[in-house]
A and B are shown apart, each in its own frame.
Chain A
């Protein structure tokens, strides 16, 4: 059995470590050893699910070992990781049958996005709990729950319309005492679809010639608002998310293929573009919204 050790801290900044460790033969039994996991955010959870799905899609049998009785398992329970992982990991985690505890820091449990009705469900569900977290914890104005719901709607539609494959979305709030001295809300979206490069290739690759690649495709979608649809009204989703996240001084990054592109605020050291990363089929979108500072 192949063993892939999961980093002790698995979040938007360290998922590359996990992906790099996927560079092994995954056609047989593969154990994701997460027993030393001490910290995980929605990006980390979706990366684990995606890694397990990659193993499964390659004919392998993914298994996972989670730490017993720690805070991190509480986080995973509240986020519905066991339920989502039951469809991927063998055997299903022992916690998968247990009822999830709805914690006040959970904005949205891990939710599978396959159809447009899933997007409606996400938007309906998040409004009932996001308002309190956004206003009290992040100190956003009351109307922020509307913009937050629109962001979720647009990122989820990105999965359905561009990935042409199922994906997941999850959101949670954290107190980043050490990193930022503030609370943050983290939204993660991941799919194992065809990725930005393949999605845009037919419509746009010719105009970029030899420069066409993962970075160019991300720049085309992220900076120029291009999509595979000729319709002028398309491509607004990411553009509007960029504007809103910037208004809230948040971080937005999109990872697809071997590249990542980001709008990074002053508090983040995330570079605007990274390339030469381990190939990731599909796309990952990471949004971090920090608590508003006093004016």
Chain B
């Protein structure tokens, strides 16, 4: 069990993991196609994802949940695989200091993901397959603006908060970090999750299937 960090870094090393959800689904249910339907299927897939995340439980990490090879994603499965996974890692007793990025096909999954996030009041960072990350789910205009600026700049040092984000910049960034939509390091600097993920790529950890 890792003590809650509210997004603040305690380990200098990120431990990246890309998780191919379609591959997990194929190993979980006897379906001819990579369809994520029914709540029990979603629950089983989420538990399989959580089992893989246990291995990197004690350090800062980023997990890329890749749904691009999933064909059908229904709302029950999206609730389990996206919303409940995020909820678990927002809890004070979360299993690890893991941040999440999602990669989906906008036309196929974007709506389901956005709806389940909205239902729980959650937001997530999501790439619709075009390499551009978006903030999905409910967020205040202030949070969205700050997130966009951070996404564009990748990292912002504490001394630049006000010039980059206005006089409430630090507060808003702390809120984004608390929602685990941004990462705040021990020195107070903020990083977008996609920038953190690129660090992950540089660390050259393989894809988990």
Residues of chain A touching chain B, judged by Cβ–Cβ distance below 8 Å, are 116-117, 119-120, 123-124, 127, 143, 146, 149-150, 153-154, 157, 161, 232-233, 236-237, 240
Interface string of B61-103 (1 = CB under 8 A from A): 0000000000111111001100110000000000000000000
Are B115 and A146 in touch, CB under 8 angstroms? Answer: no
Are A237 and B76 in touch, CB under 8 angstroms? Answer: yes
Q: Which residue of B lies closest to A142 (CB)?
A: B107
Complex partner residue of A116 from B40, B84, B107, CB under 8 angstroms? B40
24 contacts between A and B (CB under 8 A): A116-B38, A116-B40, A117-B30, A120-B30, A120-B31, A120-B38, A123-B72, A124-B35, A127-B33, A143-B107, A146-B71, A146-B108, A149-B35, A149-B37, A150-B72, A154-B76, A157-B37, A157-B39, A233-B80, A233-B84, A233-B116, A236-B79, A236-B116, A237-B75
Which chain A residues border B31 with CB–CB below 8 Å?
120, 124
Given contact pairs A120-B31, A146-B108, A153 touches B38 in the complex (Cβ within 8 A):
yes
Are B116 and A149 in touch, CB under 8 angstroms? Answer: no
Report the Cα distance A285→B84, complex, angstroms.
28
Are A233 and B79 in touch, CB under 8 angstroms? Answer: yes
**How many whole Å from A165's CB to the nearest CB in chain B?**
17
Report the Cα distance A119→B83, complex, angstroms.
22
Q: Using a Cβ cutoff of 8 Å, how many contacts connect chains A and B? A: 75
Report the Cα distance A149→B35, complex, angstroms.
10
Which chain A residues border B120 with CB–CB below 8 Å?
232-233
Interface: B55 (CB within 8 A)? no
Tell me the interface secondary structure of chain A in the complex.
helix
Q: Which residue of B lies closest to A151 (CB)?
A: B74
Given contact pairs A150-B74, A150-B75, A120 touches B108 in the complex (Cβ within 8 A):
no
Are B112 and A150 in touch, CB under 8 angstroms? Answer: yes
Q: Which residue of B lies closest to A235 (CB)?
A: B119
Which chain B residues border A124 with CB–CB below 8 Å?
31-33, 35
Which chain B residues border A120 with CB–CB below 8 Å?
29-31, 35, 37-38, 41
Complex partner residue of B37 from A123, A236, A240, CB under 8 angstroms? A123
Q: Is the interface on chain B under 10, 10 to 19, 20 to 34, or 35 or more residues?
A: 20 to 34
Report the Cα distance A123→B112, complex, angstroms.
16
Complex partner residue of B38 from A127, A149, A157, A232, CB under 8 angstroms? A157
Cβ < 8 Å to A, chain B residues 114-153: 115-116, 119-120
Report the Cα distance A153→B76, complex, angstroms.
9
Complex partner residue of B76 from A143, A149, A236, CB under 8 angstroms? A236
Which chain A residues border B79 with CB–CB below 8 Å?
233, 236
Interface string of B25-59 (1 = CB under 8 A from A): 00001111101011111000000000000000000
**How many whole Å from B132's CB to the nearest CB in chain A?**
20
Which chain A residues border B74 with CB–CB below 8 Å?
149-150, 153-154, 157
Report the Cα distance A153→B33, complex, angstroms.
14
Which chain A residues border B39 with CB–CB below 8 Å?
157, 161
Report the Cα distance A116→B116, complex, angstroms.
21
Which chain A residues border B35 with CB–CB below 8 Å?
120, 123-124, 149
Given contact pairs A150-B75, A236-B115, A240-B115, A119 touches B84 in the complex (Cβ within 8 A):
no
Q: Which residue of B lies closest to A146 (CB)?
A: B108
Which chain B residues border A236 with CB–CB below 8 Å?
75-76, 79, 115-116, 119
Report the Cα distance A117→B112, complex, angstroms.
21
Report the Cα distance A150→B35, complex, angstroms.
10
Which chain B residues border A146 with CB–CB below 8 Å?
71-72, 107-108
Complex partner residue of A149 from B30, B41, B72, CB under 8 angstroms? B72
Q: Determine which residue in B29, B30, B31, B37 has the highest number of CB atoms from chain A within 10 A of its CB, and name it.
A: B37
Which chain B residues border A153 with CB–CB below 8 Å?
37-38, 72, 74, 76
Are B83 and A233 in touch, CB under 8 angstroms? Answer: yes
Q: Which residue of A lies closest to B79 (CB)?
A: A233
Report the Cα distance A232→B120, complex, angstroms.
7
**How many whole Å from A130's CB to the nearest CB in chain B?**
11
Report the Cα distance A123→B73, complex, angstroms.
11
**How many whole Å from B123's CB to the nearest CB in chain A?**
15
Report the Cα distance A142→B33, complex, angstroms.
18
**How many whole Å from A157's CB to the nearest CB in chain B?**
6
Which chain A residues border B116 with CB–CB below 8 Å?
233, 236
Given contact pairs A120-B37, A161-B39, A154 touches B75 in the complex (Cβ within 8 A):
yes
